[in-house]
Chain A
Amino acid sequence: MSSRQWVLWSVQYADAPGNPWFSWQYLRDNSDTVLSALVEHVTLTTQAVALAAAVGLPLAVLAYWFRPLTGPILALSGVLYTIPSLALLAFVAPLVGTTRPASVLIALVLYALLLIVRNALAGLNQLPAEVLDAARGMGYGRVARLFRVDLPLAVPAILTGLRLATVSTVALVTVGSLIGYGGLGDLILGGFRNNFYKAEILTGTVLCVALGLLLDLLLAGAGRLLTPWTRGARG
Chain B
Amino acid sequence: MNAIDQAIVWLNDPLNWTNPGGILDRLGEHLWISFAAVAIGCLVAWPIGLWLGHTGRGGGAVVLISNVTLAIPTVALLTILPLTPLGFGRPPVILALAVFAVPPLLANAYTGVREIDPEARDAARGMGLSGRQLLTRVELALAVPYLATGFRTASVQVVATAALASFVNGGGLGQIISAGFGLGMSVGGGQILAGALLVALLALGIEGLLALLERALTPRPLRRPRRVRRRPATA
Contacts and interface: CB of A to CB of B under 8 A. Distances in A.
A112 B196 CA distance: 20
Interface string A182-222: 10110011011000101001101100110011001000000
Kindly state the interface size class of chain B when it binds its partner.
Answer: 35 or more
Contacts of A202: 80
Contacts of A161: 233
Interface string B67-107: 10011111110011011000111000000000000000000
A11 interface: yes
B200 A198 contact: no
Nearest to A206: B76
Given A160-B235, A192-B79, A83 B204 contact: yes
A235 B159 CA distance: 45
A45 B82 CA distance: 28
Given A11-B88, A93-B192, A167-B67, A84 B83 contact: no
| Chief secondary structure at chain A's binding surface | helix
A205 B76 contact: yes
A76 interface: no
Given A179-B181, A201-B83, A174 B76 contact: yes
A98 to B, nearest CB: 6
B164 A204 contact: no
A43 B134 CA distance: 52
Contacts of A122: 233
A192 B3 contact: no
Q: Which of B71, B73, B163, B195 has the most CB of A within 10 A?
A: B73
Contacts of A79: 204
A122 B70 CA distance: 21
A22 to B, nearest CB: 12
Interface stretch (B41-49, B119-127, B135-143, B166-174): B166-174
B207 interface: yes
Contacts of B200: 83-84, 87-88, 91
Nearest to B184: A98
Contacts of B204: 79, 82-83
A191 B79 contact: yes
A78 to B, nearest CB: 8
A33 interface: no
14 contacts: A84-B159, A84-B160, A84-B203, A86-B174, A87-B160, A94-B3, A163-B235, A164-B235, A167-B71, A173-B73, A175-B164, A192-B167, A205-B72, A212-B70
Given A84-B160, A175-B74, 18 more contacts: A7-B89, A82-B207, A83-B204, A85-B164, A86-B199, A94-B3, A159-B235, A174-B76, A178-B167, A185-B75, A189-B79, A192-B167, A201-B76, A205-B76, A209-B72, A209-B73, A212-B70, A212-B71
